[in-house]
Each structure stands twice: as structure tokens, then as C-alpha cells.
Structure 1
Amino acid sequence: MSTLYLLHKPYRMLSQFTDSQGRATLADVITAPGAYAAGRLDYDSEGLLLLSDDGSLIHRIAHPRHKQPKTYWVQLEGNISDEAINQLKRGVTLKDGPTQPAKARRIEAPAIAPRDPAIDPKRHPSTSWLELTISEGRNRQVRRMTAHVGFPTLRLIRAAIGPWQLGDLAPGEWRKETLHAPRPVTTTKRGQPSKRRRTP
């Protein structure tokens, strides 16, 4: 059996447990002895981060060879056009080469807590939301892709990694799953048993 932690990483938090500059880290929101993150989210990105103390599980999740699809909810500057969405679906050419075709669709604003600090409506009076699924993991790839098609990213939330989903976790909340057990046990961030039982 392996233990997997599903965490909603808040905005402006590092995907690590220590920082010499005093910035917010995972240690501020979760206690998971021996665990480390499977991949990462940028300091200014939010959403699903997976952690485990099982190195082989981390490898299966994070290694590019396994191509776990990652789904993002992206708030964009402006009202994204159909042509821009089609470009993302076909793949775009960035400075480090062409991207693979992505799944992309326009969505309504997701039911998720406002960012703190919030997007300034005076500076950004017109925005739209995109759901984007990619199987690559280049540095700041989603932001570069949307900027390339003319719609810079204002807010970036990872909603899913492979079969694992952010669900209704609020920023800073987490749940624990025991994998390869007959009935995976889910707990809340306080370590108390949850009524929810989810399978990956």
C-alpha cells in the first residue's frame, strides 16, 4: 500500500517544505512526514499538488515518460477566440519547440475560492476561462501557450493530474488516500476520517 496526499496549493506558496527567504511553503498547510511532491506548481500557480513518501509512486506520477495528463483552469486576459482555442488544440510552437496538441475548451468561471489577492477588475475588465489539458511538463508551459495565442494567463489552477482531481478542496486543504487497498481511506486535513471515499 502507498499513501498519497492530495493538496490544494494556494497562490504564492512554494511546492516545497523549506525556504531560506521566508516565503510560504507546504509546511504551512500540511504535515506529511517523509513525503515530497510529485512534480511541482509554480509559486504563482494554484491547485492540485500530489505528495507521497513512496518514491516509486512519485516516479510513476511525475516522470515525463508516463505522460500523466494535467488539466488546468485558466483565467485569461480578454475573451478568448475560437481560433486561439483551435491553435492550442493543434499545438503551438514555443521557443523550445512545438507543443503537442492539447485539449482545450472555453468554460464558465469554476466554483472555486477567489484568489488572494484577487484579480483587479479595473486593470483587467475583460477576462475569460479556459480548460486546458496537456501531457507535457515544460517550464511555465500553459502560461507561454496562452500568451502565444494572444491571451495572457492571469490565474492558473491545476484541476487534475491523471485520475486524481482537485474536487472540492479549498486552498490549503488536503486529503489522504491509501492506494492498492480494497477500500481507500480518505481523511481531512485534520487527520479525521472523512465520509468521502474516493478511488484514484
Structure 2
Amino acid sequence: MARLILFNKPYGVLCQFTDGSVGADRQTLSDFIDVPGVYPAGRLDLDSEGLLLLTDDGKLQARIADPRFKMPKTYLAQVEGDPDEASLMLLRQGVRLKDGLTRPAEVERIADPDLWSRDPPIRFRKSVPDCWLKLTIREGRNRQVRRMTAAVGHPTLRLVRWRIGDWALEGVQPGEWKEAPIMSFLR
């Protein structure tokens, strides 16, 4: 029986079990997860937080991570500024990046989410407003959400992946993990 783990990756943690950098002393998945044989199905940047799925099933790992399956991934993004409807519409239509046009995103402004504190905290600036967006994408380019929001003039300050497909972070605190059921449509 395949295993699937939902992990709430804290800010500053590498999405791998070892750190191959010379002289680096960064936290890795092995600092939090002591389950043999599981590997991440996808990645999150060092400066991103939130849901990371790990499994011991190679086919399931590919099904979750491979962009051709268009698994929806939902992010909560704190962005600089106050995006107007035109900026949000650009995200909904797809944004031209250096590596091509993105697929359209589902995006909406949301109230400040009730999230854990981040260490280090986001730098607060009185003269620059910020707001939160909920974005769902169906591809997984490198730093895609950050590049998309920057392309429409609203750089991302904090990024939390909240959901992948039907799996969400509800009830999982930063640095914690839990086993999850594997949906039948993925088998």
C-alpha cells in the first residue's frame, strides 16, 4: 500500500533530505520527517511555505508533480501593492514570462488569512500597502507564482501553498506532517 504524507514546510527548509551545499547548515526534510522511502512529489522554494506531498510510490509521485496531469495547486500570496481588476484579469488570462505564456490562473483577492507567524517576518512598510491573493495554477514552472505576480506589478512578499488537488493543509502546523488517504482517481 502506497504512503502519502502531507507536510507543512516551514520557511527556509530545503525540499530534499540532504543539503549538498558545501558549508551550508540549512534545515532539510530529514529534520522533520523520519519515514524511510518517501520522496517529495514536487518542490517548494526555500523561501516558500506550505503543503508538500511526499510518497513512496513513483507513479503517484509523477501523477502529482508532472505538469501534463494539470493537478491544481492553490497558493495564498501576500503581494506588494493593491492589485486592480486589470492586474487580476492578466493573471486569469495567462502572463507572458521569459519561458512563455503561463496557463490561466484562478485568482481572487482574499481577506488576510489566519496563518502562523513566519520567521523571519515579512518586512512591514507603512508607505507600501499589501494584500492577499488566492491563486490556483495547473502547471509548475520554477518560481511561477512569484514571477506571475511580479509580471503584473505586484511582487510576492510571502507565498504559502495551501492545496494540491484535494489535499489541503488544514490542521497541519509548520514543521508537522500527517499521513493522508490516496484518492482513487490517482491510482
How high is the TM-score relative to the length of structure 2?
Answer: 0.92
Bigger relative CO (Cα 8 Å, ≥ 6 apart): 2
Deviation at 1:180, TM superposition (A): 6.6
How high is the TM-score relative to the length of structure 1?
Answer: 0.86
Aligned ranges 1:116-195 → 2 under 5 Å: 116-122=119-125, 125-179=128-182
Q: 2:106 aligns with which of 103, 106, 118?
A: 103
Deviation at 1:110, TM superposition (A): 1.2
Distance change in 2, residues 1:132/1:124 (3 Å): farther
Task: Provide the residue aligned with 1:19 in structure 2.
Answer: 19
Task: Provide the residue aligned with 1:79 in structure 2.
Answer: 82
2:131, 2:43 → 1: CA distance?
Answer: 25
1:166, 1:89 → 2: CA distance?
Answer: 24
Distance change in 2, residues 1:146/1:124 (3 Å): farther
Give runs of ≥4 in structure 1 deviating > 3 Å. 122-125, 178-181
Aligned residues: 181
Deviation at 1:167, TM superposition (A): 1.1
Task: Provide the residue aligned with 1:6 in structure 2.
Answer: 6
1:39-83 deviations in Å (ceiling 9; x for gaps): 100011000000011111111111122110100000001112111
Deviation at 1:177, TM superposition (A): 2.2
1:96, 1:169 → 2: CA distance?
Answer: 34
**Contact conserved, 1:77 with 1:124, CA < 8 A, in 2?**
no
Q: 1:115 aligns with which of 113, 118, 142?
A: 118
Q: Which is further off, 98-107 or 124-133? A: 124-133
- Give the aligned residue type for 1:71: T
Q: 2:71 aligns with which of 59, 68, 72?
A: 68
Match status 1:40 vs 2:37: no
1:54, 1:98 → 2: CA distance?
Answer: 32
Alignment root-mean-square deviation, CA: 1.5
1:12, 1:18 → 2: CA distance?
Answer: 14
1:80-113 deviations in Å (ceiling 9; x for gaps): 2111111100111111111111100000111110
2:154, 2:181 → 1: CA distance?
Answer: 40
2:13, 2:126 → 1: CA distance?
Answer: 24
Long gaps (5+) in structure 2: none
